[in-house]
Chains A and B, each alone.
Chain A
């Protein structure tokens, strides 16, 4: 189809046409970036935790008054919790994935460089792997005799005595691959603090850090150190998914019976914890989807309105064309092509703007560069919307009878 007549018509409506092009360009630019942002949020919410999320409940306690022998209390609590029917395993850990607080440390593969290579979450607690359901992919778990009480470790560190600090560590595969790419990490040393050496005795599959995913979501290290609830530690209990509610209820009653002088700060399932953790992301993704839909609808209605006007305005010339032998299809294609041209120019402009907006987001929101495939997605959407919107007015134009040519306005 010859597009020259279309171009010459548009030249007579330069201002209106350029407004439509601007609108399509802006819509395209915003939608490309919004879809990219939605993708980012979904990716974030889909993060693999590496733990048996559906089988875990947790209880977070605090003492009301002075603390009795907290470490012994913790051991008694754990023993009691293990006796509950349906409980597979129990741990008292310093932090839990998707929990509010986190304990992190800088680790490096070399003693020399004075810069921390990576920042990793530091998980503590006995039977952590089996309770959380973290998979061991190489090496071994800690032996019972390797565990130390955190109170002893603190006391030793306070005196500068490094011998009482347990020297074994488990790292995630992500840490191992970052520190020793392509090598066997077992037996390798990692250094923490001012150069305390720890030996890697095992490598786990995924174990997500509690939060701050931007620093390397799977950067986690486990140390064989027992904690007590005075350090804000959390009881995590593993059981079958259908038993969770009952186990949690029994556990709370048992813990209260063992020492009534405590408050329950928080309790629930890890599923719930995860849902709460990402609620802001879910809300933001919802808003972005809403904005995209609203933009597409407004733009589509704008195209419908504009096309309707043009069809009505050119009623007579359409009649003349029909009288001179143009088929209905010729008229239909004319308006479809016109819309395609306008949309294409708009999309081309929109791509440039989308790239600009992405650059702005990279600088101000530390977002990654938008992958190229988001551009055709936005373009395709707008072409589709444009063609769908113009179809009605174009069909109306095609239905104009040739006899109109003989009538005056």
Chain B
């Protein structure tokens, strides 16, 4: 019976080839556009550390003066050196790391490679275990090396491939800003997106080349990039960032339970109060302790254009669906004479409904399939775009399933409605009219 219905549907669709093509194309375009933008949105708003992100927090303090203060104002995004170092050394969390990004000149010993600016992250020992960073060779550095401003460096596997042909380079020397650094570790495959822990140097697809102790970077006065926000009369002298009234450091902590998060919040509160009593902080204690995903949401990590494009594509899909439903319905209604004859000859309402549904379902599924292919083409187009997140735009299993779900529901919607409307005609009235 189904094959018969299918045969009927194909015959009917063949009768109006142009119209059939139009309906399939409309659904395909709508689904293709929606899936492309939804996939990009999904990739960009993903969890950079699945399974771990729930226990990673971003503490904020407010060391600013009373200028521009209003109750409830958000504290600055970053910490000062004084506060960052205090929180780091207090060790009130399971793990904690202080960091900022920068560019550092790298002089390869191989004469075949010209000196270049390496993207660096200046951080502290817990960075690697806290974020679960995998190592290909070696390990991170120790707390003693942090305190001793040691000339040690961890490099990414990409840089290891470039400089050492992928061999174990632990123990080798790397020249950074004319100083000799000993390589202690080579990272494995690690590309968290969004680039959550340092978002000023690039929010997506912005892996560093080298990681070295923050203390060492200050000792050698390495360039710090990203954002430096100062207040008062201090000015942002890059050589005296430790003592200036400037926020320029990012601090992450690992807190394993809600209780320890609450305790850490109390700790931040007490620290702010103490600093205010001591006269260093002017404002009433103004702290935040967001989880990683809350933080990413707060800094609006997903580009607003991407969200806008998604809304646009969904709107487009709606227009395409309405268009197809309208056309399909008009087509069915035109055949009401034929349908009434069949009803009068004994076809049940169910049978007619089934036949019509098959016809519209074929359109929907064909549209869904072509839409999925259009989405693949769309994602390829997105990857050709100049934006830094562009090359991340790939469809994963979740999105594949979602495309399927969207295609099926779109085709059902486009099929059910007209079939239901058309099978409710009263045969007697129609036959009389003819």
Q: How far is the CA of A34 from the CA of B237 in the complex (A)?
A: 45
A373 CB within 8 Å of chain B: no
Does B329 belong to the interface (CB within 8 Å)? yes
The answer to whether A305 and B235 touch across the interface, beta carbons within 8 angstroms, is: no
Q: Which of A59-67, A78-86, A127-135, A320-328 contacts B (4 or more CB under 8 A)?
A: A59-67
| Distance, CA A1 to CA B33, complexed state (A) | 42
Chain A 299-324 per-residue mask, 1 if CB under 8 angstroms from chain B, else 0: 10110011001101100000000000
Closest residue of chain B to A282, judged by CB?
B386
**Docked-complex contact A302 and B327, CB < 8 angstroms:** yes
Out of B117, B312, B320, B322, which one reaches A34, CB within 8 Å? Answer: B312
Q: A26-B322, A263-B105, A310-B330 are in contact. Are A294 and B312 (CB under 8 A)?
A: no
Q: Which residues of A contact B316 (CB under 8 A)?
A: 30, 291, 294-295
Give the docked Cα–Cα distance between A392 and B231 (Å): 69
Q: Is A157 an interface residue (CB 8 A)?
A: yes
The answer, yes or no, to whether A27 is at the interface (CB within 8 Å) is yes
Whether B326 sits at the interface, judged by CB under 8 Å, is yes
Q: How far is the CB of B132 from chain A (nearest CB, A)?
A: 31
A25-41 interface bits toward B, Cβ cutoff 8 Å, 1 = contact, 0 = none: 01101100010010000
Map CB proximity to A onto B8-28 as digits: 1 under 8 Å, 0 otherwise: 000000000001001000100
- Is the beta-carbon distance between B330 and A306 smaller than 8 angstroms? yes
A395 on the B face (CB < 8 A): no
B385's contact among A15, A283, A364, by CB below 8 Å, is which? A283
**B-side contacts of A103, CB under 8 Å:** 236
Instruction: Give the complex CA separation of A27 and B307 in angstroms.
Output: 19
User: With A114-B66, A306-B327 known to touch, is A65 a contact of B178 (CB < 8 Å)?
Assistant: yes
Kindly supply a per-residue 1/0 record for chain B positions 216-252, scoring 1 wherever the CB is within 8 Å of any chain A CB and 0 otherwise.
0000000100000000111111111000000000000
Known: A280-B305, A302-B326. A309 touches B386 (CB 8 A): no
Min Cβ gap B108→A in Å is 12
B116 contacts A by Cβ under 8 Å = yes
Return A218 CB to nearest CB of chain B, in Å: 23
Asked if B177 contacts A116 (CB within 8 A), the reply is: no
Stretch of A16-24, A50-58, A199-207, A398-406 on the interface side = A16-24
Residues of chain A lying within 8 A (CB to CB) of residue B305: 280, 284
Considering only residues 79-128 of chain A, those with a C-beta below 8 Å from chain B are: 103, 114-116
Q: How many A-B residue pairs have C-beta atoms within 8 angstroms? Tell me.
A: 144
* Cα–Cα, bound, A309→B328 (Å): 10
Hey, which chain B residues are within 8 Å of A115, CB to CB? Answer: 67-68
Contacts of A114 in B (CB 8 A): 66-68
> Which of A15, A298, A365 contacts B26 (CB under 8 A)?
A298
Question: Within 8 Å CB of A153, what residues of B?
Answer: 235
**Interface residues of B toward A: which range?**
35 or more
Contact of B232 among A65, A194, A231 (CB under 8 A): A194
Q: Digitize B309-333: 1 where CB-to-A-CB distance is under 8 Å, 0 elsewhere.
A: 1001101101110110111011101
B312:A64 contact, CB within 8 angstroms: no
| Set B117, B330, B385: member contacting A265, Cβ < 8 A | B117
**In whole angstroms, how far apart are the Cα atoms of A46 and B322 in the complex?**
37
Question: Cα distance A214–B105 when bound, in Å?
Answer: 34
By the criterion CB–CB under 8 Å, are A365 and B304 in contact? yes
Q: Could you tell me the distance between the alpha carbons of A158 and B387 in the complex, rounded to whole angstroms? A: 40
Residues of B participating in the A interface, judged by any CB pair closer than 8 Å: 19, 22, 26, 29, 33, 65-68, 103, 105, 107, 115-117, 177-178, 223, 232-240, 304-305, 307-309, 312-313, 315-316, 318-320, 322-323, 325-327, 329-331, 333-334, 337, 385-387, 421, 434
Contact sample, A vs B, 6 pairs, CB 8 Å cutoff: A15-B329, A263-B116, A280-B387, A312-B334, A365-B304, A409-B434
Residues of A in contact with B (beta carbons under 8 Å apart): 13, 15-16, 19-20, 22-23, 26-27, 29-30, 34, 37, 62-66, 103, 114-116, 153-154, 157-158, 160, 162, 193-194, 196, 230-232, 263, 265, 276, 279-280, 283-284, 287-288, 291, 294-295, 298-299, 301-302, 305-306, 309-310, 312-313, 361, 364-365, 408-409
Known: A62-B117, A63-B105, A310-B330. 5 other contacts (CB 8 A): A16-B330, A158-B237, A284-B305, A305-B19, A305-B327
